[in-house]
Structure 1
Amino acid sequence: MVAHRSDNHVLGPRQRAEAWNALTTEMFDVLVIGGGIVGCGAALDAATRGLRVGLVEARDLASGTSSRSSKMFHGGLRYLEQLEFGLVREALHERELSMSRLAPHLVKPLEFLFPLTKRYWERPYVSAGIFLYDRMGGAKSVPAQKQLTRAGALRLAPALKRRSLIGGIRYFDTVVDDARHTMTVARTAANYGAIVRSSTQVVGFLKEADRVAGVRVQDCETGEIGQVRAHAVVNCAGVWTDELQELSGQRGRFRVRASKGVHIVVPRDRIISESAIILRTEKSVLFVIPWGRHWIIGTTDTDWHLDLAHPAATHADIEYILAHVNKVLVTPLRPEDITGVYAGLRPLLAGESDSTSKLSREHAVAEVAPGLIAIAGGKYTTYRVMAADAIEAAVQYVPVRVAPSITEQVPLLGADGYHALVNQADHLGAQYGVHPYRVRHLLDRYGSLIGDVLALAENDATLLEPITEAPDYLKVEIVYAVAAEGALHLEDILARRTRIAIEYSHRGVDCAEEVASLVAPVLGWNEEERRREVELFDARVKAEIDSQQQPDDASADALRAAAPESREYLLEPVTAVVEARR
């Protein structure tokens, strides 16, 4: 295997063309299907073991579950009540590892308030749980829990009604931009030699006797078909796991059940609080998470049996969240306060319970057929452990001795040097002509790759100007998204590389023209293609907004699914199965 070059981590148009050639001509030790956090983690795990690795994703990196979470890299405090001690201990270890070593630029400590509402028994009960949480690893590099009186809790969160609590407990967890974190894991895998390619859909499996020997893939941008040969194939498709198993013609060892979680986003000034808030509901918990100049509030937890690619939030989902958070707020939130809404699907292992909120977050790995491994379940925080387990199961088919997993010692791109650069923010601002607060914003998105980002503006200072209708972001960030981060469409840029689609009330529509004009030269769009991208994005946003006015899942799904796909040659899973059987 050729030693990695310094620009291996760049996922741009040239690298995309090279990746297709590599995928369709080389023999891989491991091919990973799925560009969510587990798939990207598996590619990184395999690449750092010295294996030749390919990763293909039908849509965009993190386009499914991995961009639609509660934005927390957390230990799972509520799982203690379910006696899932092993899962909590493992998650807390992973949380500490990412916050302190692997991704300090992306995973940040976050102060939480747990309001107490019941006298006598609740404080000792919850305190004991959080004490256990802290002792299991939750307070290694953040403060341990602190008991608060009612007055102390209200000083921390003045937005809460006085009668809504009798006291509180402060503890710490973490916050992360899940989509950027997943994309960074993918780029780190590429840095160590993995071939990473999005918009590349698996449409069939290659067989040698009873063994899976690779896959047939289709380029979702051009329609070109190719074959990828590999000693082992790992299905990391999340909620699409069952569809991939059906496509392979094999009966899976487990099934995946999709649970829909909806979040709303509101401006920061609508809730006056210095900390995040965790609220109990009759079904689960509700998080109120600070997110830059916004709050993210969620989540719901309901079965979903419709379109897996575009789960739709309904009016009922939004009303549920508003009703529960408004029970404790002095100034209630109104529907018009909402700047963004998003819905995601959790891939839960089916069969443990009738209630999705009680399904286990443990993961499972199975050999579906010789040469084909599947992994499902788990939670975002434990992605690295899941990835290592999946690759450990796959290496039995690799005809060379394989080293053990070392990802615990491999910082993600941007981590090395991050803390020093934070201390040099004023100097960097003067050097590049960017305000220090902008520098800190960039450091928390790119870490020590900030120089690569700002270098794109060396010959065009206008790229250091903010996007007109989304001034939290610089134009150079938009260009970098397509030049180095693998974005291919406006949706990729506005919904995942940036969070414009949920952070602004226009959902990205008002800046779509400007963003399209910035990236057209890099992606080679002509005027007709540029205009089509804007129209497709506008249609996506309209479909989402319309679906959020519907009373139930079926009607919301019908409206959301009607919006056209930006990836012209993307096949629905059912269509892919039919095509493969021909």
Structure 2
Amino acid sequence: MLNALTRKHQLEHMSKFEYDLLIIGGGITGAGIALDASMRGLNVALVEMQDFSAGTSSRSTKLIHGGLRYLKQMQVNVVRETGRERAIVYENGPHVTTPEWMLLPFHKGGTFGEFTTSLGLKVYDALAQVDKNERRNMLSKKEVIERVPNIKTDGLRGGGHYVEYKTDDSRLTIEVMKKAASYGADAVNYVKAEGFLYDNGTVTGITATDVLKNETYEIKSKAVVNASGPWVDEVRANDQAGKQTKKHLVHTKGVHIVFKQEDFPLTQAVYFDTKEDGRMIFAIPRAGKTYVGTTDTFYGEQKENPTADAEDKTYLIDAVNFMFPDLNLDVSKIESSWAGIRPLIQSGSKNASDISRKDEIWHSTSGLITIAGGKLTGYRHMAEEITDEVSEYLKKHHKMHLKKVSTKNEPVSGGKVGGSVGYQNYVDNISRKAPSYGLSLDEGHVLAMKYGSNAEAVYQYAGITNNNHEKYGLSKPLYAEVIYGILHEMVIKPTDFFVRRSGKLYFEIDDVLMYRSGVEQLLQDTLGFGDEVKNKYSKELDAAIEDTRR
């Protein structure tokens, strides 16, 4: 369990115990490795210097997708692997992954024509082994306009209709992490790996700092994996005893902007090419809003909390106004935004969009194992690959023989809902229990859709409030979510809850402004930190709000 109340005790335990595997990095890759390794019977520790998923894993396009554009670049293996992984991710966590039909319009002189669209989508379906009921179909010009009335009609020839999967990237990460914890993995946020421990030049653990308390720990482990995403090279630089591969990362930045539906009315997701450079971007309806992304530009600045600058926003708005000419959007219509950094492996390409998203595993002579590159969609397969490498390392150096297991059919936390087929029935049935906990049917339904088979645990916190939620000016469901987040998802700061556990900062920013003081006070009262810390965390939320609305 990821319990913020027992976090200090957990760290003290971790400093007195030798693990089989220690993972540096609490994004989706680290979480996936922790799950795979703990299922194989390894004693696993994981440290994350920020909050879980605070880096790239909460700043993506929020799609589990096969990457149609990679087919255009002839990255067939990437399309095949990630395309097939989409269905696995969906089946194991339908509460955090939802099918989303995409419309790919084609215009005269555009990136795709009728033949290339039809053929490309057909090949895409074959490579990804798409289910029959989700295979592409071709639409006429009239059918495209019926689905997207405000699309550019000049030169419009028709469109392709195909399925991707919408996700909450940060919630997917925390659900995978919780599942790993259920198998015994010890995962802690806000703990930074500062350096390595050695025995005769071999890595045997790390020195780590609890950045919240400024306390230092030593955590020992037989094997250490560096899954720190954009910080991979910095972590490798701390490996003073090891000789590293000469390959390194390059970083690209992806920006997304959010509009109110009244400003950008959209009920059908659209994947379209830009006028400026022919890149493909998405416009996707979500939670009563429409968001657009992404850019793809080289980035060498501060990796913590990247933001969308004016040039990024202008690029996306120009693309939208070109494809949806009646909207006449400008920056004043942007409600929120986010930016993420992609850690990609150096390739020499001059175009950020052309760099392969393939992952690679690097070995240091000290024994440090590094995973670099990759995509959100392929996290499970990447985790399997690197855990295989860890298994070989432990077999060679510690005579350990691990059983081979597969996470292919292992639901993530909250995913025991009967798979994608049984999910809606589960939600309907569990929602009927909500009134027993003082919640309405609608409130119960919303929580069940979000938390899946963990929904009743959230209901319970609503049922025992004794109207305590009124003290904080919060609704029962919101109060219950915060308490659940503290006790099961290691929520410590207001940003942990508003940005990553709920996503409200991006899609329900009015709720953040309305309820922030109550949530801040509830966190202080429950976790017992002082006013100075509370004020510090409040300023961090101020900065996050400013960054997303700037």
Give me the TM-score of the superposition, normalised by structure 2: 0.92
Partner Cα separation in structure 2 for residue 467 and residue 114 of structure 1:
46
Look up the match of 2:426.
421
| Range with bigger deviation, 528-537 or 64-73 | 528-537
Look up the match of 1:359.
355
1:439 Cα deviation after fit: 2.6
Look up the match of 2:501.
497
Look up the match of 2:461.
456
1:210 Cα deviation after fit: 2.0
Look up the match of 1:344.
340
Alignment of 1:155-554 (within 5 A): 155-163=146-154, 165-249=156-240, 250-253=242-245, 254-281=247-274, 282-329=277-324, 330-398=326-394, 399=398, 400-417=400-417, 419=423, 420-424=425-429, 427-460=432-465, 462=467, 474-505=478-509, 508-542=512-546, 545=549, 548=550
Q: Look up the equivalent residue of 2:346 and give its one-letter code.
A: A
Name the CA shift for 1:518/1:322 in 2 (closer, same or farther; >3 Å). Answer: same
Look up the match of 1:144.
135
Partner Cα separation in structure 2 for residue 138 and residue 177 of structure 1:
23
1:368 Cα deviation after fit: 1.5
Name the CA shift for 1:46/1:295 in 2 (closer, same or farther; >3 Å). Answer: same
How many equivalent residue pairs?
535
Partner Cα separation in structure 1 for residue 511 and residue 543 of structure 2:
12
1:327 Cα deviation after fit: 1.0
| Range with bigger deviation, 352-361 or 454-463 | 454-463
Name the CA shift for 1:195/1:536 in 2 (closer, same or farther; >3 Å). Answer: same
Conserved 8 A contact 2:295-2:316: yes
**Paired residue for 1:116, among 103, 106, 109?**
106
1:515 Cα deviation after fit: 1.1
Q: Does 1:11 align with 2:2?
A: yes
Secondary structure of residue in 1 paired with 2:464: coil
1:468 Cα deviation after fit: 6.7
Secondary structure of residue in 2 paired with 1:286: strand
Conserved 8 A contact 2:492-2:523: no
Partner Cα separation in structure 2 for residue 292 and residue 138 of structure 1:
29
Partner Cα separation in structure 1 for residue 279 and residue 162 of structure 2:
19
Partner Cα separation in structure 2 for residue 391 and residue 433 of structure 1:
44
Q: Look up the equivalent residue of 2:391 and give its one-letter code.
A: V
1:543 Cα deviation after fit: 5.2
1:295 Cα deviation after fit: 1.5
Name the CA shift for 1:99/1:527 in 2 (closer, same or farther; >3 Å). Answer: same
Q: For residues 313-355 of structure 1, give each alpha carbon's deviation from its aligned partner in whole angstroms, at most 9, with x where no partner exists.
A: 1111111111101112222323232221101000101124121
Secondary structure of residue in 2 paired with 1:401: coil
| Range with bigger deviation, 424-433 or 239-248 | 424-433
Conserved 8 A contact 1:232-1:372: yes
Conserved 8 A contact 1:466-1:475: no
1:462 Cα deviation after fit: 4.0
Partner Cα separation in structure 2 for residue 74 and residue 465 of structure 1:
42
Q: Look up the equivalent residue of 2:414 and give its one-letter code.
A: G
**Paired residue for 2:83, among 74, 92, 107?**
92
1:484 Cα deviation after fit: 1.4
Partner Cα separation in structure 1 for residue 107 and residue 278 of structure 2:
17
1:302 Cα deviation after fit: 0.6
1:443 Cα deviation after fit: 2.0
Partner Cα separation in structure 2 for residue 307 and residue 33 of structure 1:
20
Q: For residues 114-143 of structure 1, give each alpha carbon's deviation from its aligned partner in whole angstroms, at most 9, with x where no partner exists.
A: 111027981111110101111223531642
Partner Cα separation in structure 2 for residue 267 and residue 391 of structure 1:
43
Q: For residues 86-107 of structure 1, give each alpha carbon's deviation from its aligned partner in whole angstroms, at most 9, with x where no partner exists.
A: 111111111011112x111111
Q: Look up the equivalent residue of 1:271 and give its one-letter code.
A: F
Conserved 8 A contact 1:245-1:251: no
Q: Look up the equivalent residue of 1:479 and give its one-letter code.
A: I
Conserved 8 A contact 2:506-2:548: no
Q: Look up the equivalent residue of 1:110 and give its one-letter code.
A: E
Conserved 8 A contact 1:231-1:371: no
Instruction: Please list every run of 5 or more consecutive structure 1 residues that lacks an aligned counterpart in the other structure.
Output: 1-9, 549-582
Q: Does 1:32 align with 2:23?
A: yes
1:22 Cα deviation after fit: 2.5
Instruction: Please list every run of 5 or more consecutive structure 2 residues that lacks an aligned counterpart in the other structure.
Output: none
Name the CA shift for 1:280/1:533 in 2 (closer, same or farther; >3 Å). Answer: same
1:236 Cα deviation after fit: 0.1
Q: For residues 343-400 of structure 1, give each alpha carbon's deviation from its aligned partner in whole angstroms, at most 9, with x where no partner exists.
A: 1000101124121100001100011123210010111100011111112112233221
Conserved 8 A contact 2:444-2:459: no
Q: For residues 70-99 of structure 1, give each alpha carbon's deviation from its aligned partner in whole angstroms, at most 9, with x where no partner exists.
A: 000001111111111111111111101111
1:48 Cα deviation after fit: 0.4
Partner Cα separation in structure 1 for residue 450 and residue 6 of structure 2:
22
Secondary structure of residue in 2 paired with 1:180: helix
Q: Look up the equivalent residue of 1:257 and give its one-letter code.
A: V
Conserved 8 A contact 1:33-1:56: yes
1:234 Cα deviation after fit: 0.2
Partner Cα separation in structure 2 for residue 177 and residue 163 of structure 1:
35
Q: Look up the equivalent residue of 1:88 and give its one-letter code.
A: V
